[in-house]
Structure 1
Amino acid sequence: MPILSIITVTYNAERFLERTIRSLLANQPGDEVEYLIIDGHSKDGTLGIVRNYEKHISRWVSEPDRGLYDAMNKGQQLATGDYVWFMNAGDELYDATTISNLLNQIRTNPADVYYSDALFVDDTGQSLGLRSRITPHTLPHHLTWRDMAMGMKVCHQAFIARRSLAPDFWVENLSADIDWEIRCLKAARKVVWLDFILCKYLVGGLSVQRHRQSLADRFKVLATHFGTATALWNHARILARAVRFRFAR
């Protein structure tokens, strides 16, 4: 049985998928790592790329789905590793030592959740800076679920959870990744901050493309976990923080 399941969700991702696959292959993953691709029945050249790299892919499926988080649920259900890590099309492992560093941590410092900072990149692969420095989201080194009261502290691609405690994603909610992280943290007995960067995160995902709905859905998530009154107050604080951060730069 593999230790780590890396899951890539795709839909019409021919422009970016190869970048993700090559970053994985640069790490020379062995039997301890499985790689799954969950495709939403792409109509472009995505499946051609998948077939070109098929010998490096543990399992892939291509079929219609109900969106990103439905596909992520499918990937999680098909995974067999002890840990799940979502690395979607266009995202990359940070460098060629990432997997060996992570597996060493898992062997020597077993935990339920591992997390780190993420390097933001644009669609050309150009670095934009670390998430903790170019956004208002400072990264605590002792993370708990209560740290999520004002939004997502950890980029989803920099958050790895033990599969046995990872819940299903809230399919209809564009901020389901926040909910998933909170639920993982609530269930976790031990959470470990990694002092190396796990990923390069391609900016401009679904929550950016549908920003207004994402904000409304984020409120639903935070109200579910922290209560409606607290969520209202914290959203006012989030707005004030964003304004301060913008004018401080």
Structure 2
Amino acid sequence: MKISIVTVCWNSAATIEKTIKSVEAQNYSDLEYIIVDGQSKDSTLEIIKRYPHVVTKWVSEPDKGLYDAMNKGIRMATGDYIGIVNADDTFSDVDTISNIANFLKIHNVDASVGDIVQHREDGQIIRRYSAQNWNPEKLKIGFMPAHPAIFFRKELFEKLGYYSLDFKIGADYELITRYFLKQQISWKFSGITTHKMLIGGVSSSGFSSYKKVSEEIIKALRMNNVPFQAWRIKSRIVWKVFGFLKRK
């Protein structure tokens, strides 16, 4: 079973090497690694070129944003399943892809759903984002599993479509809604912690992005004709705070 990993980057010289080394360290042999760069102006490309033994394919050209770049990488992929690792994140350990591949071989589902941990720049882990109690119905109230922790069967993108470019930060939510709720793909929780993610991404910048995220969640649900109550989407922060305090 071939696993394709896609990294999208732009001016990521400060972090991209750590991400590449994380892929290099994986002990799974049938692994394809694709990097899609948005024509970086810093030394990102110089770093990528140092690792021809790790990076199977790469491209550097202008794009229409994050999700356009993801779509490019997915179209370039030749694996049976596709996973994402962001340019400032790493896999949780050297066995991550081996564990995912073994899980998918056993269960033969369209997608595996796992966990991630989030950390600060000093490496301190501040949150475990688990999908253990998640199910697709929770999309109707604004909750999805960690996007990078999902490994999708490649043919899903060809049959059900790619990331929509109509979203700034919510195309992952829309795609997950389309796949899991509307099309009801087969999936299973793996229990595998797949990634270590650096806090501070586009859609994880705290309360400043909360309103925009809520708007795009509502848009994603409407696009897929999913019944929902808008007030529950907008008030989901209450449950996030409650969950955080409970973990403390």
Is the contact made by 1:29 and 1:99 (CA closer than 8 Å) also made in structure 2? yes
Q: CA RMSD in A?
A: 2.1
Q: Please list, as runs of the form range in 1=range in 2, the aligned pairs for 1:84-233 lying within 5 A after superposition.
A: 84-132=82-130, 139-140=132-133, 143=135, 145-166=136-157, 167-173=161-167, 174-186=169-181, 187-209=183-205, 211=209, 212-225=211-224, 227=226, 230-233=228-231
Q: What amino acid is aligned across from residue 176 of structure 1 in structure 2?
A: A
- 1:242 deviates by 3.8
TM superposition outliers: structure 1 runs of 4+ over 6 Å: none
Is the contact made by 1:113 and 1:185 (CA closer than 8 Å) also made in structure 2? no
Is the contact made by 1:118 and 1:200 (CA closer than 8 Å) also made in structure 2? yes
1:97-137 superposed Cα distances (whole Å, 9 cap, x missing partner): 111111111222211010111111123332113124xxxxx
Q: What amino acid is aligned across from residue 202 of structure 2 in structure 1?
A: L
Is the contact made by 1:165 and 1:188 (CA closer than 8 Å) also made in structure 2? no
Q: Please list, as runs of the form range in 1=range in 2, the aligned pairs for 1:35-46 lying within 5 A after superposition.
A: 35-46=33-44
Change (3 A) 1:11 1:162: same
Give the count of matched residue pairs.
239
Scaled by the length of structure 2, the TM-score of the pair is 0.87
Which residue of the partner structure matches residue 25 of structure 2? 26
Which residue of the partner structure matches residue 70 of structure 1? 68
Could you tell me how far apart the structure 1 residues matched to 2:233 and 2:185 are?
29
- Worse-superposed segment, 188-197 or 62-71: 188-197
Is the contact made by 1:94 and 1:198 (CA closer than 8 Å) also made in structure 2? yes
Which residue of the partner structure matches residue 135 of structure 1? none
- 1:88 deviates by 1.0
Could you tell me how far apart the structure 2 residues matched to 1:89 and 1:185 are?
26
Could you tell me how far apart the structure 2 residues matched to 1:243 and 1:107 are?
37
Query: Structure 1: which 5+ runs fail to align?
Result: 133-137
1:173-195 superposed Cα distances (whole Å, 9 cap, x missing partner): 11111111222224354211112
Could you tell me how far apart the structure 1 residues matched to 2:243 and 2:95 are?
33
- 1:158 deviates by 0.5
- Worse-superposed segment, 173-182 or 210-219: 210-219
Q: What amino acid is aligned across from residue 198 of structure 1 in structure 2?
A: T
- 1:226 deviates by 5.4
Please give the secondary structure, in 1, of the residue aligned with 2:165: coil
Please give the secondary structure, in 1, of the residue aligned with 2:155: coil
1:203-234 superposed Cα distances (whole Å, 9 cap, x missing partner): 21112357143332222113333557x24132
